[in-house]
C-alpha cells in the first residue's frame, strides 16, 4: 500500500531486501549507507527484526533527518516537550489529528481519552492531544473500569489492539471516535476465513458517536498519507539546507 501510494504522488520508493541472518553490524552499515545517500529522504525499517538484532540500536541508527516514522527517542522527546517540535510526527498519531481537524472536531478544552499506550500510537497521540490543549486521560490494560472513563470523553482514540472491545454504552453521545485497531477475527462467511475489525464495535458505536472512523478504510489510509507528507517535508528541508 505504501509503495503504491508513493508511486501515485511521485515519490520514488525502493526496497532493500536483506537476508534474515544478516549481522547487526552489516545492518547498521546498510542504514548508514542510506543515511549518507542524498537521494534518500526517508528510511523505514520493517519491524519486527530477527531476534539476534537489537531493534533499538537499529532504529537509533536512522538519521533523525530521515526518520519519517518519527520513532526516534529524540523525536518523541521533542514531541512531548512544550516549546519543542519534532522533525517528524509519527504517522498514525498525526493522521488521527488530521482526521479530527478535517472533521471539524474541536480539540482545545475537550476531554480526550486514549485507550492504549503503545510507543507508536497511544503515547504519541496522547502527547499531540495534550499539545492541542485537550484534557487527556490514558487508559490501558491495568486500568480498572475503563468504560467509565471512556464514557466521559468528547474524543476517543481506540488503540488497544483488542477486537471490538469498545461498546456502544462506553461512548458519550456525539463523541468523536477514532478507531486505530486492526484485528483479524474468524469469519467463516468470507472466502479468506477472516475479516478485519477495529477496537470499536462499529455497529453499536456508530449509533451513539458523532464521528466514527471505519476499519478498514479509516486511519490506515490516513497513516500512509502522513508518511508521504513526512517524506516530502523531509525532502524540502534537505533542499533548504
How many residues in the shown chain lie near its own copies by CB under 8 A? Answer: 33
Binds its own copies (CB under 8 A): choice among 32, 37, 133, 169: 133
Q: Which of 66, 94, 117, 172 binds its own copies (CB under 8 A)?
A: 117
| Omega cis (within 30) before 48 | yes
Of 171, 142, 156, nearest in space to 219 by CA: 156
Three cell numbers written together for 62: 536512522
Q: Which stretch binds its own copies (CB under 8 A): 25-33, 67-75, 89-97, 195-203?
A: 67-75
**Active-site residue, from 4, 15, 17, 46:** 46
If we measure between CA atoms, which residue out of 75, 191, 182, 176 comes closest to residue 128?
Answer: 75
Q: What are phi and psi of 171, to 5 degrees?
A: -110, 135
The binder of its own copies chosen from 19, 144, 173, 188 (CB under 8 A)? 144
Give the residue, chosen from 18, 29, 74, 185, that forms a contact with its own copies under the rule CB under 8 A: 74
Residue 96 as a binder of its own copies (CB under 8 A): the answer is no
- 2: annotated active-site residue: yes
Q: Is the separation of the CB atoms in 128 and 89 below 8 Å?
A: yes
Give how far Cα 11 sits from Cα of 7, 116, 174, 224, Å: 6, 32, 39, 13
With binding defined as CB under 8 A, does residue 125 bind its own copies? no
Active site residue 69: yes
**Which C-beta is closer to its own copies: that of 88 or that of 202?**
88
Task: Based on the residue annotation, tell me whether 46 is a catalytic residue of this protein.
Answer: yes
183 binds its own copies (CB under 8 A): no
SS3 percent helix, strand, coil of the chain, rounded to 5, is 40, 10, 50
**Candidate list 81, 184, 194, 237; residue touching its own copies; CB under 8 A:** 81
* Cβ atoms 206, 240 nearer than 8 A: no
Site for its own copies in 35-64 (CB under 8 A): 56
Q: Which of 139, 209 has the CB closer to its own copies?
A: 139
Alpha-carbon gap, residue 78 to 68, rounded angstroms: 15
As to burial, measured by CB atoms within 10 angstroms (0-12 exposed, 13-18 middle, 19+ buried), residue 170 is buried
Grid cell 553490524 — which residue? Answer: 25
Smallest distance from its own copies to CB 136, Å: 5
Decide if residue 149 touches its own copies (CB under 8 A): yes
**Least separation in angstroms between CB 42 and its own copies:** 19
**Could you list the residues that contact its own copies (CB under 8 A)?**
56, 72-84, 108-109, 117-119, 123, 127, 130, 133, 135-140, 142-144, 149
Amino acid at each position: 500500500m505504501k509503495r503504491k501510494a508513493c508511486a501515485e504522488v511521485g515519490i520514488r520508493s525502493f526496497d532493500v531486501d536483506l537476508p534474515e541472518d544478516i549481522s547487526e553490524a552489516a545492518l547498521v552499515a546498510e542504514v548508514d549507507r542510506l543515511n549518507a545517500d542524498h537521494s534518500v529522504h526517508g528510511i523505514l525499517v520493517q519491524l519486527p527484526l530477527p531476534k539476534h538484532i537489537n531493534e533499538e540500536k537499529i532504529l537509533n541508527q536512522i538519521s533523525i533527518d530521515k526518520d519519517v516514522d518519527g520513532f526516534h527517542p529524540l523525536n518523541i522527546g521533542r514531541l512531548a516537550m512544550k516549546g519543542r517540535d519534532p522533525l517528524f510526527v509519527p504517522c498514525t498519531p498525526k493522521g488521527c489529528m488530521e482526521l479530527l481537524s478535517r472533521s471539524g472536531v474541536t480539540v482545545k478544552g475537550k476531554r480526550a481519552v486514549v485507550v492504549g499506550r503503545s510507543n507508536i500510537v497511544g503515547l504519541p497521540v496522547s502527547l499531540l492531544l495534550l499539545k492541542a490543549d485537550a484534557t487527556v486521560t490514558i487508559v490501558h490494560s491495568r486500568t480498572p473500569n475503563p468504560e467509565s472513563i471512556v464514557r466521559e470523553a468528547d474524543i476517543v482514540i481506540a488503540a488497544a489492539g483488542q477486537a471490538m472491545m469498545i461498546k456502544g454504552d462506553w461512548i458519550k453521545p456525539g463523541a468523536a471516535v477514532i478507531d486505530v485497531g486492526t484485528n483479524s477475527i474468524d469469519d467463516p462467511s468470507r472466502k479468506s476465513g477472516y475479516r478485519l475489525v477495529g477496537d470499536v464495535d462499529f455497529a453499536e458505536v456508530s449509533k451513539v458517536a458523532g464521528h466514527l472512523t471505519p476499519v478498514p478504510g479509516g486511519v490506515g489510509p490516513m497513516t500512509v498519507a502522513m508518511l508521504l507528507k513526512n517524506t516530502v517535508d523531509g525532502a524540502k528541508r534537505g533542499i533548504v539546507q
